[in-house]
Structure 1
Amino acid sequence: MESKVKTVIFDLDGTLLNTLEDLCAATNYALREFNYPQKSLEEVRLAVGNGVAKLIERVIPEGVENPDFSPCLECFRGYYSEHLQDRTAPYPGIIEMLQWLKMQGYGIGIVSNKFDSAVKNLRDDYFKEYIPVAIGESSDVRKKPAPDCVFKAMKELECTADTAIYVGDSDVDIQTAHNAGLRCVGVSWGFRGHDFLVANGADWIIEKPMELCERLKNSL
Structure 2
Amino acid sequence: MYNTVIFDLDGTLLNTIDDLADAVKYIQRKYGYPVHSVDDVRRHVGNGLKLLMVRSLPLGEEDPNFEKVFEEFKEYYQGHCQIKTREYPGIMELLKELKERNIKMAIVSNKAQAATSELNKFYFSDYIQIAIGENEAAGIKKKPAPDSVNHAIKLLNARKSEAIYVGDSEVDRETAKNSELPCVSCSWGFRERELLESLNPMAIIDKPEELLAIIDGSK
Instruction: Name 1:137's counterpart in structure 2.
Output: 134
Q: Which amino acid aligns with 1:109?
A: A
Q: Which amino acid aligns with 2:104?
A: G
TM-score by length of 1: 0.96
Verify the 8 A CA contact 1:109 1:134 in the aligned structure 2: yes
Q: 1:75, CA displacement in angstroms?
A: 1.2
Verify the 8 A CA contact 1:16 1:94 in the aligned structure 2: yes
Instruction: Name 1:31's counterpart in structure 2.
Output: 28
Instruction: Name 2:181's counterpart in structure 1.
Output: 182
Across the aligned residues of Structure 1 and Structure 2, the Cα RMSD in angstroms comes to: 0.9
**How far apart, CA to CA, are the structure 2 residues paired with 1:193 and 1:7?**
26
- Which runs of no fewer than 5 residues in structure 1 stay unpaired? none
1:104 aligns with 2:104: no
1:39-64 deviation per Cα after TM superposition (whole angstroms, max 9, x unaligned): 10000000000000000111101211
Verify the 8 A CA contact 2:2 2:216 in the aligned structure 1: no
Q: Which amino acid aligns with 1:165?
A: I
Secondary structure class of the residue paired with 1:173: helix
Secondary structure class of the residue paired with 2:36: coil
**How far apart, CA to CA, are the structure 1 residues paired with 2:102 and 2:218?**
14
- Which runs of no fewer than 5 residues in structure 2 stay unpaired? none
Instruction: Name 1:204's counterpart in structure 2.
Output: 203
Verify the 8 A CA contact 2:13 2:88 in the aligned structure 1: yes
Instruction: Name 1:7's counterpart in structure 2.
Output: 4
1:60-95 deviation per Cα after TM superposition (whole angstroms, max 9, x unaligned): 012111112211111111111111110000000000
1:173-206 deviation per Cα after TM superposition (whole angstroms, max 9, x unaligned): 0100110110000000000021111112322100
Which residues in structure 2 correspond to 1:76-91 (within 5 Å)?
Answer: 76-91=73-88
Instruction: Name 2:160's counterpart in structure 1.
Output: 161
1:45 aligns with 2:42: yes
Q: Which amino acid aligns with 1:8?
A: V
Secondary structure class of the residue paired with 2:84: coil
Between 164-173 and 210-219, the greater mean CA deviation after superposition: 210-219
1:16-50 deviation per Cα after TM superposition (whole angstroms, max 9, x unaligned): 00000000000011112221011100000000000
Secondary structure class of the residue paired with 1:123: helix
Fraction of identical pairs, as percent: 47
Verify the 8 A CA contact 2:20 2:77 in the aligned structure 1: yes
1:219–1:109 distance in 2 versus 1, CA, 3 Å:
farther
Secondary structure class of the residue paired with 1:58: helix
Verify the 8 A CA contact 2:21 2:41 in the aligned structure 1: yes
Q: Which portions of structure 1, spanning 4 or more consecutive aligned residues, are displaced by more than 2 angstroms?
A: 217-220
**How far apart, CA to CA, are the structure 2 residues paired with 1:152 and 1:186?**
21
**How far apart, CA to CA, are the structure 2 residues paired with 1:172 and 1:34?**
30
Verify the 8 A CA contact 1:34 1:68 in the aligned structure 2: no
Secondary structure class of the residue paired with 2:109: strand
**How far apart, CA to CA, are the structure 2 residues paired with 1:67 and 1:219?**
55
**How far apart, CA to CA, are the structure 2 residues paired with 1:217 and 1:75?**
45
Between 41-50 and 191-200, the greater mean CA deviation after superposition: 191-200
Verify the 8 A CA contact 1:9 1:109 in the aligned structure 2: yes
**How far apart, CA to CA, are the structure 2 residues paired with 1:143 and 1:46?**
19
Give the total of aligned pairs.
217
